[in-house]
Structure formats: C-alpha cells, structure tokens
Amino acid sequence: MTIFRALALASFAVGIGLLVAVLLIDDGNTGSSASADFTPFAPTATDTPEATPSPSATATVPASPTPAPYDGAVARLRIPRFGVDSAIEEIGIIDNQLDVPKDPLNTGWYYIYDKPGFGGNAVFAAHVDYWPNIIGPFYNLSKLEPEDQVVVVMENGLEYTYRVFFKQRYSVETIPMGDLVLAPDKPEGAEWVTLITCGGQLVQGPQGGEYLERDVVIAERIS
C-alpha cells in the first residue's frame, strides 16, 4: 500500500493535467481569466507578497470525530453556500496517471488516499466546467471564503462537516502536490478535505480551452 500511494503521488500532477485538458467551456473569450478577483487566504498570513502560503492548522481545536467513522462508500459532496450536491465517483490510477471523474457532474474522490471520517486528509477533484456548456461541481470553488462549509455524505447517510480555512491559486509549474496530498502540516487529531480544480487564465482552443492554473481549497472537520 505504501508503494502504491507513493506511485500515485508521483503521478498526481500528470493526472490533474488531464483534468485541465477536459475542463473546456466555449464562452467565446480568448485568453479570458476566470475569477480575476481571486483572493487567497490562510490562517498564517504573511507580509511578503511573493511568498506562497502553505496549508496550516486552524487556530481552533478540531472537534472529536463523532459518531464513529463509517468505512463504507463515500456518497456525495455538498457545498451549501452554492447549492452544490454532487455524487461521488471513486477514482484512482489509470494508465499510470491519476484519473479524473468520467461524469463532469460528479466529484471524484481519490480512494487511494484517506477516507473521510478517519482523521486524515481526503482529496477530491472535480470539473469547474466542461465543453460545451456544462457547469461542474467546483465552478464556484474559487469563491469560497473562510468559515464556508463543505459536507461529505457517506453511503449510510452519515454526514461529516468541514470548515474552509485555506484557499490558494497555483500555476501548473508550482503547485506543491506532495504537500497538498500528504498534508505534512496537518495537526495530530485534525481531519481535512482538500478540494482541487482548475482556474485562472483560460487559453481558448478550437473546442473550449485550457486553464493554466489550479485552485485549491482546504477545510477542517468540525462535526
């Protein structure tokens, strides 16, 4: 299992590259920029403008996981602020790369990493949009703010609620996938979900285009 996870991590950047390749929506704008007013935030703000913030713990003590974690399937992901309620599609490695959701309306959960409810860092990816005119589950991910909630619903109806505390936009070349997946700064006893999609500049092509950046949101479990 350790080797499998390591191989998956090594291929993560490539897999997310595939996600970008199909995040295509034909809005007729060449070189457009999605969410130009994107404002990153993190609990440990820095006064150095060029510094890239890294995920860090919230100031609050995370709630004890109650009830006991459920080891069945992850069923849905909800973002109440934007009315998102998407089915979960379990995704892993395909052709030596991390897979992406086959259904553009689904949210992908990487089952090769941590499962929600067990005190780790569960990683999710979804489309922001999809050619020609499909709005994906993470269309408004870049608009989330501190204290917004993300809810993961398990197959048995159990819900885990997470509070957003970190948002950052990275270029394709600088996104620290290892830190985002392995969450080395996550405090012992805390549980996180990491949500990843595409954003920033959209370079148009014959059918849609390609986003040049990645938007990442991290939320900590509160119930």
- Please give the Cα distance from 92 to 190 (Å, whole number): 24
2-221: what fold?
Sortase; Chain: A; (2.40.260)
Residue 54 vs residues 36, 43, 73, 140: alpha-carbon distances, Å: 21, 10, 30, 21
> pLDDT tens digits for 62-102?
555 467 899 999 999 999 999 999 999 999 988 877 788 99
DSSP H stretches of helix in 100-174 = none
Q: Where are the domains of the chain?
A: 2-221
Contacts of 115 (CB under 8 A, 6+ apart): 69, 71, 74, 122
Q: pTM for the whole thing?
A: 0.79
Residue 22 has pLDDT above 60, yes or no: no
pLDDT band at 54 (very low <50, low <70, confident <90, very high): low
Write down the pLDDT at residue 36: 55
Helix then strand then coil, in percent of the chain rounded to 5, is 15, 35, 50
